[in-house]
């Protein structure tokens, strides 16, 4: 096989969508699997909607997921001269032509077609044909460039995901390749009009020697046009693979209106990139019954087979399960850093790195996300409010005496787990109580909740004065 080259080509009109992240992952893994290369291209020709902020978000999400690219980011708006050059070549070869129809004329054309019950399409006014006399070029109208699409025959390809697809050329019309720059544009490259998506994507994929084009199936209808542009250019065709959409848990297309769809929002919600990658990999691809895979395994196994033809369903509970798995696996030092950043974003400064690391080690097994881990750690330094109806019934007179005795004892013992455990044990024994009778109210008073890791381990993480303070009013 020739050197495999794949790409991801997001439009910077928002964050990196989960669907695009999945396509990026598959394209990256496929390239890596075959020892190929992966390119990042920023499709910023929608000038009105593209923003630098969105570019930053996309780059950041790619970096967060660890999808490193071999080339890029390449910006389409820096390649305008190239699209114009290729358009001129197509015109010279008779595969494209200028069209001076005004938007008003096109509207009228479509209106007339509609009223005759016909499908709306460009009627070929400016399409050159042997022996045809073209209209006179009007004054003051800047032309677009259109592809001279073959009028008959089929466009067919064997989709890497969906299998054979064929569309008749009669279904598609002479698409616009280039639009003119707006009146009064400054000189230089900005004076060049911008290409349409279908044209720019072909010129780029051709120039960048892309061998496998993976993208969402909302682009299936664009592919026949693109194939016809490749043919007009005499360029080799890449292989195409179109992934089905991702559905939300309501069975509708995952969209902004129905919950988090950006990679960034999952980062902010405390998911780990390796969990995201794992979950996205499995969403539309399988390797036997495996649910958990490392990056290395994804690369090893992702050969373009076992891709699902049907839409995948976004399953937050499963993502949480995958994330919890990686939380347990994660290095304590790393989790400590992530939790610290999470706390900082809440305005809570926690600078005792050793304590943070020990807290991460103790709590990580109970946490689905870094946000939950930060909740546990925050409790060590910010007051908690145990629910009175939970606490009051536990505070029987012997328990209150035990807690008071414990407070005194904890004021003196060395602050380590063994000494703390011995203090708790002896107080419980002295009062003739059972461990849970004391441990339970202790948990509520200290942590504000009844379920915690072993009480001595939790106590040790607190600063002594905070423990004494929280036991003050028993």
Residue 70 or 352 having the CB closest to ligand GLU: 70
- Residue 185 has which token pair? 């544009």
Residue 23 or 369 having the CB closest to ligand GLU: 23
Distance CA 305, CA 303 (A): 6
Instruction: Point out which span in 4-12, 229-237, 349-357, 434-442 binds ligand GLU (CB under 6 A).
Output: 4-12
Residue 9 or 399 having the CB closest to ligand GLU: 9
Contact, 148 vs 130, CB < 8 A?
A: no
Contact, 403 vs 438, CB < 8 A?
A: yes
Q: In the bound complex, what is the minimum distance in angstroms from residue 201's beta carbon to ligand GLU?
A: 5
Q: Mark whether 256 is an active-site residue.
A: yes
Burial of 165 (0-12, 13-18, 19+ CB in 10 A): middle
Instruction: Point out which span in 7-15, 97-105, 120-128, 277-285 binds ligand GLU (CB under 6 A).
Output: 7-15
Contact letters for ligand GLU, residues 36-55 (x by CB under 6 A)? -------x------------
Contact letters for ligand GLU, residues 175-214 (x by CB under 6 A)? --------------------------x-------------
11 binds ligand GLU (CB under 6 A): yes
263 binds ligand GLU (CB under 6 A): no
223 binds ligand GLU (CB under 6 A): no
Q: In the bound complex, what is the minimum distance in angstroms from residue 225's beta carbon to ligand GLU?
A: 12
Distance CA 369, CA 375 (A): 10
Distance CA 302, CA 295 (A): 10
Q: In the bound complex, what is the minimum distance in angstroms from residue 284's beta carbon to ligand GLU?
A: 16
| Binding residue for ligand GLU, selected from 32, 34, 127, 215, defined by CB under 6 A | 215
**Cβ-count burial 93-119 (b if 16+ within 10 Å, e if not):** eebbbbbbbeeeebeebbeeeeeeeee
10 binds ligand GLU (CB under 6 A): yes
Contact, 400 vs 433, CB < 8 A?
A: no
Of the candidates 132, 162, 256, 364, the residue annotated as catalytic is 256
Residue 201 or 263 having the CB closest to ligand GLU: 201
| Binding residue for ligand GLU, selected from 4, 5, 6, 9, defined by CB under 6 A | 9
Distance CA 15, CA 131 (A): 51
Instruction: Point out which span in 5-13, 95-103, 289-297, 442-450 binds ligand GLU (CB under 6 A).
Output: 5-13
Q: In the bound complex, what is the minimum distance in angstroms from residue 439's beta carbon to ligand GLU?
A: 55
**Cis amide bond preceding 409, omega within 30:** no
Q: In the bound complex, what is the minimum distance in angstroms from residue 171's beta carbon to ligand GLU?
A: 20
Residue 50 or 368 having the CB closest to ligand GLU: 50
211: nearest Cα among 241, 243, 242, 237 = 237
| Binding residue for ligand GLU, selected from 33, 82, 98, 219, defined by CB under 6 A | 219
Residue 238 or 441 having the CB closest to ligand GLU: 238
Contact, 246 vs 283, CB < 8 A?
A: yes
Helix boundaries (H) for 395-454: 397-410, 417-430, 435-447
Distance CA 291, CA 288 (A): 9
420: nearest Cα among 432, 407, 429 = 407
Contact letters for ligand GLU, residues 60-99 (x by CB under 6 A)? ----------------------------------------
Residue 201 or 403 having the CB closest to ligand GLU: 201
The set of long-range contacts for 471-474, using a CB threshold of 8 Å and a minimum separation of 24, is 471/403, 471/404, 471/406, 471/407, 471/410, 471/445, 471/446, 472/407, 474/395, 474/400, 474/403, 474/404, 474/407, 474/445
Q: In the bound complex, what is the minimum distance in angstroms from residue 200's beta carbon to ligand GLU?
A: 9
Which residues have CB under 8 Å from 3's CB, separation 6+? 36, 37, 209, 211
257: nearest Cα among 246, 269, 248, 268 = 248
Residue 43 or 267 having the CB closest to ligand GLU: 43
14 binds ligand GLU (CB under 6 A): no
User: Count of residues binding ligand GLU (CB under 6 A)?
Assistant: 7
Which residues have CB under 8 Å from 194's CB, separation 6+? 45, 47, 77, 80, 83, 178, 179, 181
Interacting residues toward ligand GLU by CB under 6 A? 9-11, 43, 201, 215, 219
| Residues that are catalytic | 256
């Amino acid at each position: 096989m020739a050197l495999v080259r794949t790409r991801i080509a997001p439009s910077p009109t928002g964050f990196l969508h989960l669907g695009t992240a999945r396509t990026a992952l598959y394209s990256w893994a496929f390239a890596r699997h075959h020892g190929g290369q992966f390119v990042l291209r920023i499709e910023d020709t929608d000038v009105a909607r593209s923003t630098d902020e969105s570019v930053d978000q996309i780059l950041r999400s790619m970096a967060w997921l660890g999808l490193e690219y071999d080339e890029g980011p390449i910006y389409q708006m820096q390649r305008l001269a190239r699209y114009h050059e290729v358009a001129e070549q197509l015109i010279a070869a008779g595969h494209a032509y200028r069209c001076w129809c005004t938007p008003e004329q096109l509207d009228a054309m479509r209106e007339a077609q509609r009223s005759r019950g016909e499908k709306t399409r460009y009627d070929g006014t400016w399409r050159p044909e042997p022996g045809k006399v073209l209209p006179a070029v009007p004054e003051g109208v800047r032309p677009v460039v259109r592809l001279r699409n073959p009028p008959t025959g089929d466009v067919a390809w064997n989709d890497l995901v969906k299998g054979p697809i064929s569309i008749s050329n009669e279904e598609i019309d002479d698409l616009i390749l280039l639009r003119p720059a707006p009146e009064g544009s400054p000189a230089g490259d900005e004076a060049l009009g911008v290409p349409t998506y279908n044209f720019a994507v072909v010129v780029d994929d051709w120039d960048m020697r892309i061998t496998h084009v993976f993208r969402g199936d909302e682009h299936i209808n664009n592919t026949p046009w693109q194939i016809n542009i490749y043919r007009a250019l005499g360029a080799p065709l890449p292989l195409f693979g179109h992934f089905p959409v991702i559905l939300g848990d309501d069975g509708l297309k995952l969209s902004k209106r129905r919950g988090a769809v950006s990679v960034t929002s999952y980062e902010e919600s405390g998911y780990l990139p390796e969990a995201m990658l794992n979950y996205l990999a499995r969403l539309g691809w399988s390797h036997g019954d495996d649910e958990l895979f490392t990056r290395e395994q994804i690369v090893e196994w992702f050969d373009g087979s076992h891709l699902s033809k049907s839409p995948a369903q976004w399953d937050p509970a499963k993502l949480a399960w995958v994330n919890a798995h990686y939380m347990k696996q994660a290095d304590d030092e790393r989790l400590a850093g992530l939790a610290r950043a999470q706390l900082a974003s809440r305005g809570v400064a926690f600078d005792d790195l050793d304590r943070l690391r020990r807290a991460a080690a103790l709590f990580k097994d109970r946490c689905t996300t870094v946000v939950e881990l930060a909740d546990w750690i925050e409790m060590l330094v910010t007051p908690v409010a145990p629910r009175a109806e939970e606490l009051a019934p536990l505070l029987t007179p012997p328990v209150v005496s035990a807690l008071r005795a414990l407070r005194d004892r904890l004021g003196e013992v060395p602050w380590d787990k063994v000494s703390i455990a011995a203090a708790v044990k002896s107080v419980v024994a002295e009062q003739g109580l059972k461990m849970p009778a004391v441990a339970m109210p202790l948990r509520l008073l200290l942590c504000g909740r009844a379920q915690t890791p072993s009480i001595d381990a939790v106590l040790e993480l607190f600063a002594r004065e905070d423990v004494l303070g929280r036991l003050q009013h028993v």
